Structure 1
Amino acid sequence: MDLKLKGKRALITGSSAGLGEAIARLLAAEGAQVTVHGRNEARSKSVAESIMETGGLADYITGDLSTDEGADKVAQAVLAGGQVDILVNNVGTYQPQPWLNATVQNWNDTYNNNVLSYVRMIHRLLPQMKTLGWGRIIQIGSSVAIQPMTMQPDYSASAAARHNLSVSLARELKGTGITSNTVSPGAMLVDTTRNMLLQMAQHNQWGSSWAEIEKNAVAQFTPNDTERLGRPEEIAGAVAYLASPYANYISGAVIRVDGGLVLSL
């Protein structure tokens, strides 16, 4: 299916690895010109070059979006290369820890990295997007925004703020041709998750094969109807659809990609 993204230009923040990388790769495969962003120049450059080697259009930018100066640098660099039609706010951090171990400073840092980084890029890229009369702003949220856990309370709260700001922004964008939506992943199989589960497998008696380990770990920690972890490509698919003209009538929505983890309508 042609998602009609040829000629569109997309910035995906935090796309030098993980979910962001998968999003950048799929948007490029669908014909969009993508800008890979990360803090590590070697990783960001490697992803962009890999996309170009497979026939895609890509460049890369590095910068720390947790500061105004870093966001200025990234925005100026990406706009110097042309218009931005699609902004995917994906950058973020988290440190799993119990409630009373999460200090006020942890909460402050998490909110700055996971919420204000999104706001900074919206402020810097939305004005030029309005001149185009069409655009997409897509936030990557989380299932814990709707169904929080006892661990990482600061991260859960910051994810809820992402969902909320996306809806508020959609109301602000009424009549502009620009939409604002959220893709909300459940537990995802990225390298860090796989390595962690492999280390925990023997102690928890989850089995020896990856299929056994994944099924048993999911049953214990994130039970869902598919009995597995999500794949980055599945998040990328939802983002690509929302970025396309086929989603013109969708704004202010939260698209859950969580295997049925969240027990809610």
Structure 2
Amino acid sequence: MDLDLEDTHVLITGASGGIGIEIARLFLEQGARVTAQYNNNAGTLSALPQEKLRVVQADLSVEDQVQRLFNDGPFGPVGILVVNHGVSPPDELLVDMSLERWQSTIDTNLTASFLVAREYLRKLSSAPDQVKSKANILFVGSTAGKYGEAGHADYAASKSAIMYGLTLSLKNEIVKIAPMARVNTVAPGWVRTPKKMEKLKDPIFVHRALATVPLKKPAEPWDIATQVVCLCSTKISGHISGQVVLVDGGMEGRLLNGLSETQELETL
């Protein structure tokens, strides 16, 4: 299906990860010009078609490096911004969490998203009307931002802020720059990415992750990428803004107590 994305310049942050690379691949298949940002590892991006791909290293917590991402290059001004980067540190309860870890997660996930979105909006102000007509921001959130996640309060808080505070505010601000521009979020549940493969081999973990999911399976990166690309298409999603689309298999929440734990309570 033609989504009318031919030669649209799309900037994707965190493009070298499992979800990011699939998003980049689908945009390229639609004929878009893609700037793929990475921080530490660009290796996976070499497998993508290179003709309309620009790979840029940048630390998104550094203002001048974010600004460099948006410097006019061969693809012209950025029309669509996909904010996909993020970190989820190992399990640690808030009571044991250091201020350094909290600040690092918030800076990486939330403050960097602010910096990228702000620079995009600043450049959009002077962009041609043709670019403004298809302009939109798509954030990648998480079900942790809706339901919380014990052991990852820092991650959940950062994603919740993006999904609700930032998305719902910016969808009202972006139209002051480009009247038809939109802002949305896609929020995945568990996704079968390379980073999660080891965890998904553990049957106890899988049970806890999928116990409230009617479809009884994790998503594939493709499942997330298709929703991202479709929402970014003005042709088919031009009247959708300020929405958080959960791609979670119908998840109803987090499983707090395993079977053994409820059995223990019954004996009290």
Between 1:5-14 and 1:128-137, the stretch displaced more is 128-137
Q: Kindly tell me: are residues 42 and 244 of structure 1, through their superposed partners in 2, closer, same or farther at Cα, counting changes over 3 Å?
A: closer
For 2:73, the equivalent position in structure 1 comes to 80
CA RMSD of aligned residues (A): 1.9
Letter in 1 for 2:238: N
Partner SS for 2:175: coil
Instruction: Verify the 8 A CA contact 1:98 1:153 in the aligned structure 2.
Output: yes
More helix as a share of residues: 1
Question: Which residue does the alignment assign to 1:249?
Answer: 239
- 1:61-72 alignment runs, 5 A limit: 61-72=56-67
Matched-pair contact (CA < 8 Å) for 2:70–2:123: no
| 3-state SS, counterpart of residue 110 of structure 1 | helix
Per the alignment, residue 220 of structure 1 pairs with: 208
Contact 1:143 1:262 in 2 (8 A): no
Q: Report how far residue 35 of structure 1 moved.
A: 1.1
**In 2: Cα distance, 1:233 partner to 1:251 partner:** 22
SS state at 2:101 partner: helix
Please state how far the C-alpha of 1:41 moved relative to its aligned partner. 5.6
Distance in 2, Cα, partners of 1:183 & 1:59: 24
Other structure's SS at 1:80 match: coil
Q: Which runs of 4+ in 1 moved over 3 A?
A: none
Show structure 2 runs of 5+ residues with no match: 254-268
Give the Cα–Cα distance (whole angstroms) in 2 for the partners of residues 94 and 118 of structure 1: 15
Per-residue Cα deviation, 1:205-260 (whole angstroms, up to 9, x for no partner):
x3xxxxxxxxx643223421111111111110000111112111001100110111
- Residue type at the aligned position of 1:168: S
Q: How many Å separate the matches in 2 of 1:72 and 1:151?
A: 34
The SS at the match of 1:188 is coil
CA contact (8 A) 1:22 1:232 kept: yes
Displacement after TM superposition at 1:72 (Å): 2.4
Does the CA contact (< 8 Å) of 2:36 and 2:55 recur in 1? yes
Residue of structure 1 in register with 2:190 after alignment: 187
Q: When the two structures are superposed, what TM-score results if normalisation uses the length of structure 1?
A: 0.85
* Residues 12-21 or 95-104, more deviating: 95-104
1:118 corresponds in structure 2 to 113
TM-score normalised by length of structure 2? 0.84
Q: Specify every segment of 5 or more residues in structure 1 that has no aligned partner in the other structure, as ranges.
A: 207-215
Q: Report the more deviating stretch, 60-69 or 169-178.
A: 169-178
